[in-house]
A and B are shown apart, each in its own frame.
Chain A
C-alpha cells in the first residue's frame, strides 16, 4: 500500500512537471517546425522571462498577474531577435544557426551574470504556498497551478496553429517554404511571428515557474536541455508530440530521481534521447 502511494505520488509529480516541460518545448518545436532552427538560447529566453517576472513581483505584481505582460514582452523580444539576428543566420551556411543561437546563449547568460549577479533569487511572497491532499498523495498548490496553467497555454497554442489563418500559414511554411512563398505567404513575417510565439511560450512558462523556482543566470539551461529531449521524443516540429514527449520526460526524471539517485535523474532522459534519435529519428509521433 505504501509502495502504491509512493508510486501515485511520483506519477502525479511527474505529470505536473511534464506539463511545464511541454509549454517550454512547444515554443522550441514551433520554431523548429517553421524555420528548421533549433534555438540553443531557448533556455536563456526562459531565464529572461523569469527575471522579468521577478521584476514585476518586486513592483507588487504577482507571477500570475505578470504572466500576460511577460508573455507579450517576450513575444516582442522574440520578433526583434528574429528580425535583427536569426533572419541573417538563415541566409548563412547550415551550421550558422547552431553556433549563432549558441552565441546568443553565451551573450544572454553573460548579460544576466554581469547585471543581476549569480545569486539565486525568488519572487517575494509567492501565492499558493499550501499543499493539496488527494487521498495519500500530497502536492504543493504552486505545482498544480503551474501544471494546469501550462496545459491550458499549450492547448491554446495547438488551437491557434490548427484553426487560425496565421496558424495555417505557419503549417504551410513548415511543409514547403517555396510553395508557401508562391501561394503569396510572406515567409519572413511568418518566421518572425513563429519566433515571437516561441519566445512568448517560455515567457508564460517563466512566469509560472517563478511560483516555485528561484531564478539565476543559468536557471533556463536545464529546462532547455530537457526541452531538446522532449522535442526529439515527440518528433521535431510536432506540437502534440511535444506534449506526449514532455509527459514522458517528466515521468522519467521524477522516477529516475527517486529510484536511482538525484544526481542520476537525467540519465534515463539522455538515454531516451539517444535511443530515439538513433532508432526512430522522426520521433514517437512525427512523420518521416
Chain B
C-alpha cells in the first residue's frame, strides 16, 4: 500500500495544527491540542515496542521521565533545554538497551511484568537519588523565548508538539515500509517461524525499543518545559505508564494512526469528565477507559483504527491482513 494517503493526512493535520497555534487565542483549546499531540507521541512510542514488536510494556513512563529529568537537569545547571532533547533521548535509548537486552526475549506476561519491575526499580532509584531531587523533583526557573524553550503563550508549545508529532509519524510511516517493520511484525506473528528464517529477534527488538525510548524522551523534554515541574508521580510512576499503555491499546495496537485516535479519546474523555463532574468526578474517566479497553479486547482486539482498516479492506474485497482471532498464537 502506498504511503501517499498517510502523508496527505499528516500534512492536513500539520496545517490544521499550525492554524490553531497561530490563530486560536483560547488557552484552554491550545492546552487540549498540546496535550493531544504529546499523548499521541507517547502512544506511538509505546506502539513501536508493544504494537509492532508485540512486547506489551507497562513501564514506558521511565523513558518519558528520562526526557523530563534531562530537561530539569539541563535548565537547573544553566544549560540550554534544547540540549536535553539529544541528551534525554540518548539516556532513554541506553536505558532501553540495558533493560531490553535481557528482557526482550521474554514472552507475553513475563515481559510485561518485567517492565513493571524495572520501572519500579528506576522509580526507587530516582526517589533516593539526591542529584535527581529525590521525591521532591524539580521546579524549573521561569524564562521566556525560543532559546529557553519557554513561552508566555501556548501557541509555540503547540508548534513544537506538532513538529515532534510529525517527525514521529513520518518515522512510523518509514518503519511500516522498512525491513525492520516487516521483521518486527513477523516476530510478533510467530517468533519461531521468524527466527527459523534468520531474523535476529533480540537485535531488531532492541533497535525498535531504543527508538521508541528516544521518542518518549523527546516528549518528556517538551512536557517539562510546558509544566515547569518534574517529579516522580508526574513522570515515571506506574500510573503514567498505565496511561501511556491505555492510549496505545484504545487506539489500536500496531497501527499508524491508532495512537492519535487513542490520545483523542483520552483527552476528550478526561476533559468531558472534568467539566461535567468537576473534582467530584474522580474515577468516572477510569470507568469509561476501562470499559472501552474491555470491549475492545473482547470484541475488537485491534482497536479503533484496526477495526476501521479491517472494514476498509473487506469492502475492497482484499484479503484481511490483520490476523483474525486465534491465528496469531
Chain A interface (Cβ < 8 Å from any Cβ of B): 38, 85, 88-89, 91-96, 98-100, 102-115, 118, 217, 225, 228-229, 232, 261, 263-264, 266-267, 270-271, 273-274, 277-278, 281
- A225 vs B246: C-alpha distance when bound (angstroms): 19
The smallest C-beta distance from B281 to any residue of chain A, in angstroms, reads 8
Asked whether A277 lies within 8 Å of B114 as measured between CB atoms, the reply is yes
Cβ-closest 3 pairs across A and B:
A107-B290, A110-B286, A103-B293
Q: Which residues of A contact B285 (CB under 8 A)?
A: 110
Q: State how many angstroms separate the Cβ of A204 from the closest Cβ of chain B.
A: 24
Tell me which residues across on chain B come within 8 A of A104, comparing CB atoms.
290, 294
Q: Residue on A with the closest CB to B113? A: A228
B286-306: CB near A (< 8 Å → 1, else 0) gives 111111111011110100000
Name the one of B54, B114, B124, B298 contacting A85, with C-beta atoms under 8 angstroms: B298
B102 within 8 A of A: yes
Nearest-CB residue, chain B, relative to A85: B298
With CB as the reference atom, state the residue of chain A lying closest to B134.
Answer: A263
8 more A-B residue pairs beyond the given contacts A102-B58, A103-B289, A109-B286, with a C-beta to C-beta distance below 8 A: A92-B298, A99-B245, A99-B253, A107-B291, A114-B282, A270-B121, A271-B121, A274-B103
Q: Are B290 and A225 in contact (CB under 8 A)?
A: no
Complex CA distance for A98 and B286, rounded to whole angstroms:
18
Contact status B298-A95, CB under 8 Å: no
Contact pick for B301, options A93, A111, A261, CB 8 Å: A93
Q: Which B residues from 32 to 78 make CB contacts under 8 A with A?
A: 54, 56, 58
Does B103 contact A278, Cβ atoms closer than 8 Å? Answer: yes
Nearest chain-B residue to A90 (Cβ)? B326
Task: Compute how far the CA of A219 lies from the CA of B176 in the bound complex, rounded to whole angstroms.
Answer: 41
Chain A residue nearest in CB terms to B105:
A278
B294–A95 touching, CB < 8 Å: no
Q: Are A266 and B124 in contact (CB under 8 A)?
A: yes
Q: How many Å lie between the Cα of A277 and that of B118 in the bound state?
A: 13
Cross-chain contact B121 with A108 (CB below 8 angstroms): no
B108 interfacial contact with A, CB 8 Å? yes
* Min CB gap B323→A, angstroms: 7
> Roughly how many angstroms separate A109 CA and B286 CA in the complex, as a whole number?
7
Complex: how many Å from CA A144 to CA B52?
A: 49
Per-position 1/0 for B109-123, Cβ under 8 A of A: 110111011101100
Distance (whole angstroms) from the CB of B44 to the closest CB of chain A: 17
Are B323 and A263 in contact (CB-based, < 8 A)?
A: no
Most chain A CB within 10 A, of B120, B281, B298, B325, is at: B298
B282: which A residues are within 8 A, CB to CB?
A: 113-114, 118
How many Å from the CB of B321 to the closest CB on chain A? 14
Residue from B103, B108, B110 in contact with A94 in the complex, judged by beta carbons closer than 8 Å: B108
Q: Are A95 and B124 within 8 A (Cβ)? A: no
11 contacts between A and B (CB under 8 A): A38-B108, A85-B294, A92-B298, A93-B323, A95-B54, A99-B56, A100-B298, A114-B281, A228-B116, A266-B120, A278-B102
Interface SS, A side: helix
Q: Which of A94, A105, A274 contacts B290 (CB 8 A)?
A: A105
B329 at the interface (CB under 8 A from A): yes
Q: Considering the complex, which residues of chain B in the window 256-307 have a beta carbon less than 8 Å from any beta carbon of chain A?
A: 281-294, 296-299, 301
Report the interface size for chain B: residues with CB under 8 A from the other chain: 50
The one of B242, B294, B323 that contacts A100, using a Cβ cutoff of 8 Å = B294
Whether, in the assembled complex, B249 has its beta carbon less than 8 Å from a beta carbon of chain A, the answer is yes
Once the chains bind, are B301 and A112 in contact (CB under 8 Å)? Answer: no
| CA of A100 to CA of B300, assembled, Å | 11
- In the bound complex, do residue B286 and residue A106 qualify as a contact, i.e. CB atoms below 8 Å apart? yes
Is B312 engaged at the interface, CB distance under 8 Å to the other chain? no
Report chain A residues within 8 Å CB of B124.
Answer: 263-264, 266-267
B185 in the interface, Cβ–Cβ < 8 Å? no
Question: Which of A92, A94, A96, A110 contacts B283, CB < 8 Å?
Answer: A110
User: Of B108, B287, B296, B329, which contacts A107 at CB under 8 A?
Assistant: B287
Q: Which B residue sits closest to A266, measured CB to CB?
A: B120
How many angstroms between the C-alpha atoms of A92 and B298 in the bound complex?
7
Smallest distance from the beta carbon of B152 to chain A beta carbons, Å? 35
On whether the beta carbons of B114 and A274 are closer than 8 Å, the reply is yes
Report how far A267 CA is from B80 CA in the complex, Å: 35
Alpha-carbon distance A198/B286, docked complex (angstroms): 25
Residue B136 at the chain A interface, CB threshold 8 Å: no
Contact residues in B for A92 (Cβ distance below 8 Å)? 297-298, 301, 325-326
A232 proximity list for chain B (CB < 8 A): 110, 113
Can you name the residue of chain B whose Cβ is closest to the Cβ of A93? B328
Docked pose: A99 CA to B75 CA in angstroms:
38
Question: Given that A98-B109, A277-B110 are known contacts, is A106 also in contact with B299, CB under 8 Å in the complex?
Answer: no
Could you tell me if B293 and A113 are in contact, using CB atoms closer than 8 angstroms? no
Specify which of A91, A112, A274 is in contact with B325 (CB 8 Å cutoff): A91
**How many angstroms from the CA of A85 to the CA of B297 in the assembled complex?**
9
Chain B residues with Cβ below 8 Å from A103 are 249, 289-294, 296-297
Write out the residue numbers on chain A whose beta carbons fall within 8 Å of the beta carbon of B56. Answer: 95, 98-99
Is the pair A38, B109 in contact by a Cβ cutoff of 8 Å? yes
Q: Which B190-219 residues have a C-beta within 8 angstroms of A?
A: none
